[in-house]
Amino acid sequence: MSHAAPIPYPDARPTSPPPAATPPLSADQRAQFDAIARIAHTEAALSILPEKAAVVFSRIGKRLRALGLPDAATYVALIEGPNGTQERENLISALTTNVTSFFRENHHFEHFANQILPTLERRARAGGRVRLWSAACSSGQEAYSLAMVILEQFPEASRYDLRILATDVDRQILTAARAGIYPADLAEQIAPARRKRFFNPAVGEHEIEAAPELKSLIAFNRLNLMSNWPMTGRFDAIFCRNVMIYFDQGTQKKLIDRFAGVCSPGAALYLGHSERIDPASTRDFQQVGQTTFTYLPNTEPGKSGPQQE
């Protein structure tokens, strides 16, 4: 699991000067960086600035060692070639950051518990279907936090048609998410009563494991937000937090439009603390709180979806 600093996309820091200590890239290094950045953009929409070349080469260095490759040129030849499919996936894992925590930006979970869950609970109890999506779930803390909030208010939830889909592009991090085993010091992010109820001591010393009750609500699957979404049915809440910052603005806008296509009316969309929906680009999501939006499709003729110029 990588906890390295995020690689910001261009719009995140338009005025940042390049770090003074970074030596200039040779022509070969620049071509290698460009190839890696191009693949990262094609595969996962990651947008990486040349100023981050040192970070990129450091992360690639770990892949070279793992593969026993002599240099970056050989690595680039591999990921550009027909046998590079698996390694392109590993490259994306190496370049993304998986930083997350339990109850991160807790106001979203409070909003969900107070404003969204009561209606969903009534629907589920009446035999309806409820679907929630943690759309870049990293090592799973977001999805498990959501499951805790649900089970506190609706302890029988797993007996009804209520499920959390938790997805990420990074297969390795999903393995950790599915296991639900965390270092015990992370337990400090969880209130003691919740910890006692929803976590068990794990086999490993100084580790805790999400209880089966939590795990039973969640399906972890690999999904690249840039690819096809095979899910059918609509979502009643989407947590897509702290991933759009890695995408350029055009990609962010397309993603928001795609979310509109899979939300049920009244669904909540939660974004990360530095992520926004440009109000000029859609009328279908209305901001109802800090980085909290409600999907209310605009049914006036010609007014639904993105605004026209």
Ligand X SMILES: C[S@@+](CC[C@H](N)C(=O)[O-])C[C@H]1O[C@@H](n2cnc3c(N)ncnc32)[C@H](O)[C@@H]1O
Tell the smallest beta-carbon distance from residue 202 to ligand X (Å): 21
94 binds ligand X (CB under 6 A): no
Show the tokens assigned to 237.
């809440």
84/297 with CB nearer ligand X? 84
Cα distance between residue 211 and residue 182, in whole Å: 12
169 binds ligand X (CB under 6 A): yes
Which range binds ligand X by CB under 6 A, 92-100, 147-155, 179-187, 192-200?
92-100
59 binds ligand X (CB under 6 A): no
157/173 with CB nearer ligand X? 173
Q: Choose, by CB under 6 A, the member of 87, 89, 142, 284 that binds ligand X.
A: 142
Q: Which residues pair with 165 in a beta bridge?
A: 133, 219
Question: Pick from 157, 71, 81: which is nearest to 113 by CA?
Answer: 157
291 binds ligand X (CB under 6 A): no
Cα-flanking dihedrals φ and ψ of residue 244, to 5°? -60, -25
The DSSP H or E segment spanning 122 is: helix 117-125
In sequence order, what DSSP letters do the residues of 248-265 get, joined into one string?
-HHHHHHHHHHHHHHEEE
163 in catalytic set: no
- Among 59, 131, 163, 241, the one annotated catalytic: 59
Residue 117 near residue 150, CB atoms below 8 Å: yes
Contact residues: ligand X, CB under 6 A? 44-45, 96-100, 104, 136, 138, 142, 168-170, 173, 224-226, 241-243, 246, 272
Report the catalytic residues.
Answer: 59, 168
